Copies of this chain bind each other. A is one copy, B any other.
Amino acid sequence: MKGIRIFCDTAFAEQTMALLRQGTEGHVLVAAQNPAASVLGKSEAGPEIENVEIAFGQPDVADVLRARKLKWIHLTSAGYTRYDTADFRAAMKQRGIQVTNSSSVYAEACVEHVMAFLLAQARMLPQNLSTQCANGAAEWNALREGSRLLIGQRVLIAGYGAIAARLVEVLAPFRMELVAMRRKPRGDEPIRMVKLEDFDAELAAADHVINILPDNAQSRGYFDARRFAQMKQGAAFYNIGRGATVDQNALAEALETNHLAAAWLDVTDPEPLAKDHRLRIAPRCYITPHTAGGFTDEAGALVRHFLSNLQRYEANQPLLDRILE
């Protein structure tokens, strides 16, 4: 199958573009006139997508709905908030357009990022790195006694997809108790799973609550004052999903009142937070600027992932990382 028109709206560097051109030889690459600023931003609306079969990047939703020849959209992100609406889902289904994302490209980096958070929290890294205390001093004893072993502690994961599945593999040697929530457990997950309606009952027993929820109408503000209050005193909260799934004032309150031991956030709403935002001032709130998915040659990995899906598309094989099904 050759001669497919493929729209790309991501402004990759020349070396990565060369990889994309090489891997799509025999097809027709159509570049966006106003490409997306980053793999997280959407591209501006433009007419280029109307005459293509495949769109690779972050195409404008209205453009997609108008593009009558489109058969497959491959997103450069793991998140897909702007496409995750009932209307868009129905339109894709009705027109037989497949939608895939890049979650397996980002899973490893996200897992290493949340592991860095988890271990930095257990080993009190922020406190340890900012002191010059002497062996045997009261502060030193407090640091040694305050450091927790992960062994035997309980992790509760909200949102079980590619990232959580890989996180479970990496956590295995630490011998923790692992529980995860997904809307429709499949039964083949390697850890204990709970459904949405049973999630709240798990909050009180968790030492670490890891939020990997996508942002959609159902998940917005999911972690609210009531759920933070249900968490164990001294538990830690992590967010590598989307900022909008958290009531940030409620989280700040939980930190200010010392109900939670810490929050480690890679995502906030908005990004970045204002310099004087309550979460910037809240104690033990550690924020990275939505970099969990990043890694050296991320762009190359994105293109290789798309090309491997393109080979499947050409061969009529099932695509990797299908979403909105």
Contacts and interface: CB of A to CB of B under 8 A. Distances in A.
Interface of A: 37-38, 40-41, 108-109, 112-113, 115-116, 119-120, 122-126, 128-129, 131-136, 140-141, 143-151, 169-170, 172-174, 271-273, 275, 280, 286-296, 298
A144 B287 contact: no
Given A119-B120, A134-B289, 5 more contacts: A112-B149, A116-B116, A125-B125, A144-B298, A170-B174
Contacts of A128: 288-289, 291
Contacts of A119: 112, 115-116, 119-120
A294 B173 CA distance: 20
Given A119-B112, A146-B296, A147-B291, A271 B134 contact: yes
Nearest to A126: B129
22 contacts: A38-B135, A40-B136, A41-B135, A108-B151, A109-B149, A116-B120, A116-B123, A120-B120, A123-B292, A124-B291, A125-B125, A132-B273, A135-B272, A140-B289, A140-B291, A143-B291, A144-B294, A145-B295, A146-B296, A148-B295, A149-B295, A173-B173
A293 B122 contact: no
Contacts of A298: 144-145
Top-5 shortest CB links A-B: A144-B294, A116-B119, A128-B288, A38-B136, A116-B123
A296 B112 contact: no
